[in-house]
Chains A and B, each alone.
Chain A
């Protein structure tokens, strides 16, 4: 914590932290775009898994290098708030997808003609 030197500044990193974060982030952005735009991995499923994994790694890089979240800042409370938010975000997103996917499956089948008569 850097309260000792600058009372108003809660947490911030060094030039090195930012540059490492930027280099990692540039690579982690370029690779997924390259994978999708060139279609190197022929299998779409494998490409999807790869870019999702890279996105999660990049989010961790940004949180540590740019947002400077660690277990020590604010006596650990920023980390606790972040973990709580991640849990809620995971429940909201995966829960919505799960419920709505099954809801679609349980809906009464509708013909194309019935669809066009809908308001």
Chain B
């Protein structure tokens, strides 16, 4: 009975379609979804930072940060990652300007800087291990290798992704799919740079100050 009363009293039920997001393209929801994945990745790094923070003074008689960290090397490494961020930005702009060749070129340069970063980090790890500062040596070193190693693995995954992206671009050019992939790759790459800010500040610089 009550269902009929609504129309019986003369007020016709109205429906309003609110078009909040006009021009909702196919890639629009992807960017939000990928962003939420990146935020969950940030939480992984948060737990690793928390672990490192708790363990960072547990040397167990082993080396302290001041004795093993080489700041000039870290500065070069940081520069590599920072330069790769701006070159990725140039790739994104070239894609916006419909220049697939320039996009590929900037992506290649980004990959070179990224590879330099991973190479320098592997060199650093190898020299630490050669000095006896292995992950097994102390809780501080376990935390250090877990945190910096996870970041390095992410950069390595980013490098593989850039390689796949270059292949896809040479096969299909700058189509809608490749634009969406490029945008996600860019968000991933820039987030790794943000995480590295935390690493060089809280692990290396504060470690040497301590």
Q: Are B92 and A12 in contact (CB under 8 A)?
A: yes
Chain A residues 7-31 with CB under 8 Å of chain B are: 7-15, 18-19, 21-22, 25-26, 29
- Is B191 part of the binding interface, using a Cβ–Cβ cutoff of 8 Å? yes
Partner of A3, one of B24, B43, B96: B24
Q: Tell me the smallest distance from the CB of A93 to a CB of chain B, in Å.
A: 5
- A48 contacts across to B, CB distance below 8 A: 206, 209
A66–B141 alpha-carbon span in the complex (Å): 32
Q: How many residues of A sit at the interface, in one of the four size bands?
A: 35 or more
Most buried by B among A15, A93, A97: A93
Decide: B194 and A62 in contact? CB cutoff 8 A. yes
Chain B: interface size category: 35 or more
Please indicate the chain A residues that have their CB under 8 angstroms from the CB of B47 in the complex: 92
Report the 9 A-B pairs with minimum CB-CB distance, sorted nearest first: A7-B25, A10-B31, A8-B27, A18-B89, A96-B50, A55-B201, A8-B179, A8-B180, A89-B46
- B residues in contact (CB < 8 Å) with A: 20-21, 23-28, 30-32, 35-36, 39, 42-43, 46-47, 49-51, 53-54, 71-72, 74-75, 78-79, 82, 85-86, 89-90, 92-93, 95-96, 176-177, 179-180, 183, 186-187, 190-191, 193-194, 197-198, 200-202, 205-206, 208-210
